[in-house]
Structure 1
Amino acid sequence: MMKKIKYSLLLAFGLTLVSCSEPSSIDRWIDNPTANEIKVTIDGKELTIPAKSGVNYTFEYGKHTLSYNNDDFNFVVKPAQFGESGFINPTQSNYYLYTVIYSTSEISDEEYEKILKQNREINKIPAIIDGKEQEIEMPAKLINDILIERSDYHWNYSYDQAFPEEITQDLRLKKNQSYQESFRKLYRESDFIELIKEDEQEDISFPYQPKKFSEISQYVIPKVNLNNIKCEEGRKYMEGLLNDWNHLLTLKGSDFTKPYNNLASNDAMAKSYSSVDKCTKENDPEQSYRKELRQFVDALRSTRDVNFYVIK
């Protein structure tokens, strides 16, 4: 039996929201942790999202547009190799991934902090304490992405799930052998502040710094100059890949799934990598095709584990 060890200002972050995957679509939660109702427009359809709540929305696979506060961005919804949950954060509100350690035996505060540092769970978080801007160290990570994917942050508990007081696992430990394991929970900012105030008496808040949607990280298929590829067979193959990608973004639902897998599945990527055999030292001495192919396939691979990502 492992008990949760409480440590001042040590928090764990983990959000799990329901995500139902279907062959042609996926459900995704749109969260509004603010104190006011907001309106979000998706592909021209306006949604009203209540304060401190959210709505579940079904997205067909393919390209979509989200608008909020007179700003908008494009994103792709697709199958994921390891489909995990996530949510949309249109207000770019702050969430906090907080770590708690469970242990089979009592450990000191010093040991607790050492374990957290060894696992790189301690981070500097910008905060405003008693009106003064500063950074505080704690086992928490600030997250304010617009598209928040569990596969990127690996939380154990959602913001609507409590940390259990203790957990039971079959550890098969020897007598008197101790064991520790860390778990993460996701918090909305208001709940995170309440958690901190259980131990601290200062007035604490956190800066809110949303970006323009045009400034957020965007996924981009690298620009390939076909004329730079000296090997003709490689050039034709790459031209086909680029045409398939551009056509993919015009498709929706079940029409999207097969062409996407033809581009981005493990088998498809293996086939693309093997296409370098078309270009030899004789017809492509500078390996121009290999260089262009690698950046294209690596770009596809970088998003294989997520269902949602922003595009330019």
Structure 2
Amino acid sequence: MNKKIKYIVLLTCSLTLVGCSESSSIERWIDNPTANEIKVIIDGDELTIPAKSGVNYTFSYGKHTMSYNNDSLNFIVKPAKFSDSGFINPTQSNYLLYTIIYATSNMDENEYNKVLEKELNRIPAMINGEESEIELPVKIVNDVFIERSNYHWSYSFDQSFPEEITQDLNLKKHQSYYERFKKLYRESDFIEHLKQDGVKEEISFPYHPKKFIDIVQYVIPNIDVDNIKCEEGRQYMKNLLNDWNQLITLKGDAFEKSFKKIGTDDAIIQSYASEKKCTKDNDPDQSYHKTLGQFLDALRNARDVNFYVIK
């Protein structure tokens, strides 16, 4: 099946962005898009989540545990460089990240199709009961922690696409313009969207939840400080590892204060400055440079998210 969906609209006023304030906790929606009620346990507290609904839950910064369907995982809640929204998907259900292209009405159809073509993906689907593929401007998302900073949606599953977007533009005569926007759908809502757009086939998408233990976990690499030739670098790395090990035992304000010592951009810049203590004379193999790089790369990998899975 090959379905291309086209929207041509006129853009004429400005868009706004909404920021988030800082605190020592984060409220997150725990979503249940399934047809049945589910029970999720957060740090020993049992939550009953109705079908096709969800609950808001406030997480202090620090380590937490979530259990669902006799399976458990540990995760960290932390500040992010660009605080953003997201939600928790304990059932690992499918969400469809759908790209729509808004364009001025004078945009040539061939030009539009070229833009759309770049967004098309062939994704697995069950069509009328048979395994197949479908080509759509869509990605399937089914993480446990779904972070907007990873997927950059413009509209979440509880928001509708507007009929048209308006923006102030200084266009020359006959000049066309377009913008891409993304919306996240629960799977059932996306299938309904396709039906409303004229799709007659029965469609669903493969559901393959992982055991929690098989989900990619965030880890600081194993670092043998004794391999660092430079004494000053060796001591600095010991302090970093000590701060890290202490960090995951803390909660709330204490976590945030400790995190600022090692996880912010300023802290990372300061850590790189420590390399000046290790020269070609006292560390000819650059052992400290290599070790520090591993540690700081790991910190940066989780810089932009508020939630991540740990061992």
CA distance in 2, matches of 1:11, 1:56: 35
Aligned residue identity for 1:111? E
CA distance in 1, matches of 2:56, 2:30: 6
Partner of 2:54: 54
CA contact (8 A) 1:29 1:87 kept: yes
Partner of 2:105: 105
Instruction: Please give the secondary structure, in 2, of the residue aligned with 1:294.
Output: helix
CA contact (8 A) 2:81 2:303 kept: yes
From 147, 167, 183, the counterpart of 1:149: 147
CA offset digits 1:157-206 (Å, max 9, x no partner): 11111111111101211111111111111100000011112321111111
Partner of 1:131: 129
Partner of 2:191: 193
Instruction: Please give the secondary structure, in 1, of the residue aligned with 2:126.
Output: strand
Cα deviation, residue 10, structure 1: 3.9
Percentage of matched positions with identical amino acids: 67
Matched, 1:33 2:18: no
From 175, 178, 181, the counterpart of 2:179: 181
Partner of 1:43: 43
**What's the C-alpha RMSD, in Å, of the aligned pairs?**
1.9
Aligned residue identity for 1:133? E
CA contact (8 A) 2:3 2:135 kept: no
Partner of 1:220: 219
CA contact (8 A) 2:107 2:177 kept: no
CA offset digits 1:249-293 (Å, max 9, x no partner): 000011111100111111110110011111111111110110010
From 167, 171, 188, the counterpart of 1:169: 167
Cα deviation, residue 222, structure 1: 0.9
Instruction: Please give the secondary structure, in 1, of the residue aligned with 2:58.
Output: strand
Aligned 1:228-307 pairs, distance under 5 A: 228-307=227-306
CA distance in 2, matches of 1:81, 1:157: 21
CA contact (8 A) 1:97 1:187 kept: yes
Partner of 1:86: 86
> In terms of mean alpha carbon deviation, does 108-117 or 122-131 score higher?
108-117
Aligned 1:66-81 pairs, distance under 5 A: 66-81=66-81
CA contact (8 A) 1:9 1:199 kept: no
CA distance in 2, matches of 1:146, 1:47: 16
Instruction: Please give the secondary structure, in 2, of the residue aligned with 1:80.
Output: coil
Cα deviation, residue 244, structure 1: 0.4
CA contact (8 A) 1:11 1:138 kept: no
CA distance in 2, matches of 1:233, 1:21: 38
Aligned residue identity for 1:180? Y
Partner of 1:64: 64
Cα deviation, residue 51, structure 1: 0.5
Cα deviation, residue 302, structure 1: 1.6
Unaligned segments of structure 2, at least 5 residues: 8-17
Instruction: Please give the secondary structure, in 2, of the residue aligned with 1:210.
Output: coil
CA distance in 2, matches of 1:106, 1:164: 19
CA shift in 2, pair 1:175/1:109, >3 Å = closer
Cα deviation, residue 218, structure 1: 1.1
CA shift in 2, pair 1:109/1:190, >3 Å = farther
CA contact (8 A) 1:124 1:137 kept: yes
CA shift in 2, pair 1:95/1:109, >3 Å = farther
CA offset digits 1:7-50 (Å, max 9, x no partner): 945499xxxxx997552111000000000000000111111001
CA shift in 2, pair 1:289/1:10, >3 Å = farther
CA shift in 2, pair 1:8/1:134, >3 Å = closer
CA contact (8 A) 2:81 2:304 kept: yes
CA shift in 2, pair 1:194/1:107, >3 Å = farther
Instruction: Please give the secondary structure, in 1, of the residue aligned with 2:111.
Output: helix
Aligned residue identity for 2:97? L
Partner of 2:10: none
Aligned residue identity for 1:175? K
Cα deviation, residue 110, structure 1: 4.5
CA distance in 2, matches of 1:19, 1:77: 19
Instruction: Please give the secondary structure, in 2, of the residue aligned with 1:274.
Output: helix
Cα deviation, residue 311, structure 1: 1.1
Cα deviation, residue 294, structure 1: 0.4
CA distance in 1, matches of 2:174, 2:99: 25
Instruction: Please give the secondary structure, in 2, of the residue aligned with 1:58.
Output: strand
CA shift in 2, pair 1:254/1:114, >3 Å = same
